Amino acid sequence: MVPLSYYLVLSAILFACGVAGFLIKRNIITLFLSIELMLNGVNLSFIAFAAQLKSLDGHIFVFFVMVVAAAEAAVGLAIIIAVFRTRESLNVDRVNLLKL
């Protein structure tokens, strides 16, 4: 059996990778991927605690996090497509004027 803290450390590492990606990457799509990575790290810690407390509420929460992440990915990618149409670039530094 695996101690709980191992799962929490893994979850923290994944979340940190997501935060680091969000801060250093310049491509909008990679930013979104880092957000998804953060959400996955959080999901892991939910499931780990649910396994420890033997409570299924953690699983339900992860279910809802997945649903919200899916909705957010859909809308976010639609926004990216709209931004790309006008600015022809996926570099987030180029999106610095309200009206092109």
Partner 1 sequence: MLHLLLFFIFAAICVAGAINLLAQKHPINSALSLIVVMGSLAVLYLLLGAEFVAALQLIVYAGAVMVLFVFVIMLLNAGVEERTEHGSRVAIVLGVPGLIIGLGIVAWVVSHLAGLDKIAIGGPTIMNGAEVFGNPQAVGRLLFLDYLLPFEVTSILILIAIMGAVVLARREE
Q: Interface with partner 1 includes 84 (CB under 8 A)?
A: yes
Q: For the chain, state the CA radius of gyration.
A: 17
The helix/strand/coil state of 27 is strand
Dihedral sign, Cα of residue 88, residue 89, residue 95, residue 96 = negative
Q: To which residue do tokens 């649903």 refer?
A: 67
Residues 12-41 interacting with partner 1 (rule: CB under 8 A): 12-21, 24-27, 29-30, 32-34, 36-37, 40
Question: Is residue 62 within 8 Å of 43, Cβ to Cβ?
Answer: yes
Binding to partner 1 by CB under 8 A, coded x per residue (else -) over 40-79, reads: x--xx--xx-xxx-x-xx-xx-xxx-xxxxxxxxxx-xxx
Q: Which is nearer to partner 1, 50 or 95 (CB)?
A: 50
Q: Interface with partner 1 includes 93 (CB under 8 A)?
A: yes
Dihedral sign, Cα of residue 83, residue 84, residue 87, residue 90 = positive
Residues at the interface with partner 1 (CB under 8 A): 1-21, 24-27, 29-30, 32-34, 36-37, 40, 43-44, 47-48, 50-52, 54, 56-57, 59-60, 62-64, 66-75, 77-82, 84-85, 90-91, 93
